[in-house]
Structure 1
Amino acid sequence: MRINHNIAALNTYRQLNSASTAQGKSMEKLSSGLRINKAGDDAAGLAISEKMRGQIRGLDMASKNSQDGISMLQTAEGALNETHDILQRMKELATQAANDTNTTDDRGEIQKEINQLTSEINRIGNTTEFNTQKLLDGGEVQRASQTSTSTGTTTPAKVEGTEVDATAAAALDFTVTNLDFEVNGTAISLDSDAYTNIGDVATAIQDALTADGNTDVTVTAEDDKLVFTAAEGKNVEIGAATTGSLSDIGIEEGTTEPTTAGGTGASAESFSATLQIGANKGQAFQIDISDMRAVALGIAQATDGSGASTGTTTPAKVEGTEVDATAAAALDFTVTNLDFEVNGTAISLDSDAYTNIGDVATAIQDALTADGNTDVTVTAEDDKLVFTAAEGKNVEIGAATTGSLSDIGIEEGTTEPTTAGGTGASTVFTTDPSVTNGTASNLGEKALDVSTHANATNAIEVLDKAIAEVSGERSKLGAYQNRLEHTINNLNTSSENLTAAESRIRDVDYALAA
């Protein structure tokens, strides 16, 4: 018998503590319903389940996002349903007005309804919104901060090469031997010099451009890639390699033009929205809704507020083809006895030597000026002759009576100005503004004119096109909705299965814990 240590009592005490601890843990799990209440319960399981929980909650929110997207699309589509009905009524009225059994007064009454219905289409386009975002105005509010009297926001032409295996950090030497090509007409020659990194290559190309006086393109190195950025209104033109391979420095031949957003050309603007339809970065879906107001549909014509203008007109312009003569190359070429006419003015280019295409443009412009002809302005742009007509005028280039027009990169023909926001020369609008934006009383647009049989029949054709355009837009919105419905089903299925997996890790099994 031991006096100082009662082993049996110690064993009993230890067992009691173990039972109490186990009972406490079981009660904790049973009361919370969770197998893991703290990291010590299952460290690895906690980390895994938290990751799953994050994905589950992301999937659930993505499903809600998709449902919100459907609600937004249904709002737009519902508004266009009313626009459709209005256009159908307008066609009905135009068909009625085309019948010569109607008097001038009768057609005047029909015109009144046409005007009001056109204003209502504007109201629908200007006021239809979801969560304060206007859907059918072509994104006008989104563009307001970046538009003025210009024709839009232009993104300069840019070419990014592919990443090459040469970085400053790695200090890897690579040699480009006898690689010859052109960038916007400037000859680039990379020879046997060793370049430590892609930045050295960019510097060498930029130095060649600077030495040649070429400011059209700037060359930099970003993220181990060559980046060619054009000046405003210019292209990036990379010519084929005459020696070596462009792939050595991660680029390829081709021309990239600047892109314009938010312009005022003939193509309609659109409202754009990006829906986050997944739990991870990059799982997004963009929707676009076109401008559905009267001018965009071609059934009205914008004015400047006085009723004098007839829309946005792009002047007639003729661009010749590029000729092999630039100021940089200083290549002499001679045009001998080339006689033709520009808008009725006789042009005669004889045996004078012209250093570049700019000299030819100057000679033609001088002849026009001497003849008092202000219908056309002639300039040289990018090694091409450009003929631009005055407002409302055509560019008329007559056939060469002596020589060949191809010598200076042009051909005979007539080019007329084009009008944006209209539907062609046959479309007739009211003389005075008769259409509002739908929410104000001021008249800012002209409606389709149905005062005569000819005008009314033209209006029928215009309305048919507008109906087809709205039909196409509604069809697109319906396709968006159908896609999002499938997206929701997939997200909900993924969330359900992931929740089941997370539950097996995190939740308590009452049968085992009891």
Structure 2
Amino acid sequence: RLSSGLRINSAKDDAAGQAIANRFTSNIKGLSQASRNANDGISIAQTTEGALNEINNNLQRVRELSVQAANGSNSGSDLKSIQDEIDQRLNEINRVAEQTDFNGKKVLSQDGQLTIQVGANDGETITIDLQKIDKTELGLDKLDVTKGIATTVSSGASVVGDVKIAAADFDNAKTTGGPAADKLSLTKDDKGNYFVKDVTATAKYYAATVDMTTGKISFDSDKDVTATAGTPPAVTTLSREVKSDGADLKADQSLVKYKDDKGKDLYAIQTLDKDGNATFKSVTFAAVGKTTEGTAVDLAANVDPLAKIDDALKTVDAFRSQLGAVQNRFESAITNLGNTVNNLSSARSRIEDSDYATEVSNMSRAQ
């Protein structure tokens, strides 16, 4: 006992005491490891929050650029330069989210949970909630501050006046607004072929293809298919079959007018995406009735860009707050684990450690 410092060196010395001390040893070792686990949990949370801080910095810059873009003094080239930096910042957010990891675990690239064992027994855990944070999840994947300015300016003249498609199957469609000579009416014959009617005294018709995926109306030729007013002629079969209930052209849809960087009026057809949000596809017409090559423009992305960025910042702030709270929880757990280990160690010592004064006295009497 004097050489080992232990009162209980084998079960025969104190069977019950040996069993109790052994359980204490098991708990002490488990709690010591749990304390190290909790420190790992803090490291994970700190790593994640550090990445979120960089994402926050990029979002702050994107918001600053969006405020700059909202100023009416910017030219089209100015807005494009601003948009280029915004795109780079958003791409950097994606890179940070994709590449941030702790010990091989991606902490920002997908939703999930990490369970940290902070006790010596089953179920004694703390969970770190992780979430995917990229420009798509933040609702900024279509952020565009160029206000719908087309990247290419068509050579043809845009339709003057608001063209309104007023029939679900495009039969007997009509237009409203604008000078009569410039109105166009989209309709379809009994064979399912589409054509555009020039609403003038001569009422000329032009064979047309309606592309539901792009929202573009293309004319098959420069020349009208009839020179007289009256019943539309039979139009040759178009190169593509188009259903009238497609996602892009529906009843009572209006062409929305906007301006390019030179002040020219352009038009876009309003559509709905899969989530029911309004988007717009650009469409232009030449004076002779032939579609010119244009660029699809998503005008919906320009609606309240600052509000969208503020929402993204709120999402990041909420996530950071959650990580800060769980760090504090881990620190509290570590403190409690340390206290428990100290108390259990003292209790074990009282059971199995030798009392040197008593043992020396007993040895002296025995000699």
TM-score by length of 1: 0.41
Residue number in structure 2 paired with 1:102: 74
Distance 2:127 2:310 in 1: 29
- Residues 40-99 of structure 1: per-residue CA shift (max 9 Å, x gap): 221111111111111111111111111110110010001101111110010000110111
Query: Post-superposition shift, 1:458?
Result: 2.6
Change (3 A) 1:470 1:112: same
Deviation string for 1:155-193 (max 9, x for gaps)?
A: xxxxxxxxxxxxxxxxxxxxxxxxxxxxxxxxxxxxxxx
Residue number in structure 1 paired with 2:327: 481
Question: Aligned equivalents of 2:112 and 2:342: distance in 1?
Answer: 34
Residue in 1 that maps onto 2:132: 291
SS at match of 2:137: helix
Deviation at 1:390, TM superposition (A): 5.9
Q: How does 1:293-372 map to 2 (within 5 A)?
A: 293-301=134-142
AA of the residue aligned to 1:468: K
Structure 1 56/394 Cα, relative in aligned 2: closer, same or farther at 3 Å?
farther
TM-score by length of 2: 0.57
Match of 1:90 among 62, 69, 73: 62
Q: Secondary structure at the match of 2:12?
A: helix
* Root-mean-square deviation (Å): 3.4
DSSP-derived class of the 1:53 partner:
helix
Separation (CA, whole Å) in 1 of partners of 2:71 and 2:307 = 15
The Cα of 1:508 is off from its aligned counterpart by 1.4
**CA–CA distance in structure 1, aligned partners of residues 58 and 3 of structure 2:** 64
> Which of 406, 419, 441 matches 2:275?
419
Take 1:127 and 1:455, find their aligned partners in 2: how far apart are those partners?
A: 27
> What is the alpha-carbon distance in structure 1 between the residues aligned to residue 307 and residue 357 of structure 2?
76
Aligned-partner SS, 2:3: helix
Q: Offset at 1:394?
A: 7.6
- Aligned twin of 1:253: none
Conserved 8 A contact 2:34-2:119: yes
Give the aligned residue type for 1:425. A
Aligned equivalent of 1:70: 42
- SS for the counterpart of 1:462 is helix
User: Which of 88, 101, 113 does residue 129 from structure 1 map onto?
Assistant: 101
Find the aligned partners of 2:12 and 2:85 in 1 and give their Cα distance. 77
CA contact (8 A) 1:97 1:456 kept: no
When residues 395 and 133 of structure 1 are mapped into structure 2, their CA distance, relative to the original with a 3 A threshold, is farther
Distance 1:301 1:492, change over 3 A: same
Task: Tell me how far apart the structure 2 counterparts of residues 483 and 493 of structure 1 sit (CA, whole Å).
Answer: 16
Partners in 2 of 1:484 and 1:392 — Cα distance?
52
Deviation (angstroms), 1:425: 3.1
Q: Hey, what's the Cα distance between the residues in 2 that align with 1:418 and 1:513?
A: 84
C-alpha spacing 1:73/1:291, structure 2 compared with 1 (3 Å): same
Correspondence for 1:463: 309
1:419 counterpart letter in structure 2: D
Q: Secondary structure of 1:40's match?
A: coil
Partner of 1:120: 92
Using a 3 Å threshold, how does the CA distance of structure 1 residues 510 and 462 change in structure 2: closer, same or farther? same
1:276 correspondence with 2:122: no
8 Å contact 1:427–1:459 — kept in the other structure?
no
Q: What is the CA-CA distance between 1:393 and the residue it aligns to?
A: 7.4
Moved over 4 A (4+): 389-396, 454-457
Task: Count residues with an aligned counterpart.
Answer: 234
Instruction: Give the secondary-structure state (helix, strand or coil) at the position aligned to 1:478.
Output: helix
2:169–2:251 CA contact under 8 A, matched in 1: no
2:332 maps to a residue whose letter is H
Flag structure 1 segments of 5+ consecutive residues without an equivalent.
Answer: 1-28, 139-269, 303-342, 346-370, 376-388, 397-415, 429-447
Q: Distance in 1 between matches of 2:280 and 2:126?
A: 38
CA distance in 1, matches of 2:51, 2:318: 14
Aligned residue for 1:443?
none
- 2:30 is aligned to 58
* 8 Å Cα contact 1:98-1:457 kept in structure 2: no
Counterpart residue identity of residue 10, structure 2: K
User: Could you tell me whether the CA contact under 8 Å between 1:95 and 1:456 is conserved in 2?
Assistant: no
Q: 1:507 to 1:95 in 2, by over 3 A?
A: same
Opposite residue 275 of structure 2, the aligned amino acid is T
Going by fraction, where is strand more abundant, 1 or 2?
1
Contact 2:101–2:107 (Cα < 8 Å) also in 1: yes
**Residues 301 and 54 (structure 1 numbering): CA distance in 2 closer, same or farther, change over 3 Å?**
farther
Residue matched to 2:337? 491
Q: What is the 5 A alignment of 1:209-224?
A: none
Alpha-carbon distance in structure 2 between the residues aligned to 1:513 and 1:99: 89
How many Å separate the matches in 2 of 1:53 and 1:395? 77
CA positional deviation for 1:395: 11
Residue identity opposite 1:127 in structure 2? Q
- Work out which of the residue numbers 16, 22, 37 in structure 2 matches 1:44: 16
Give the % identical residues: 42
**3-state SS, counterpart of residue 320 of structure 2:** helix
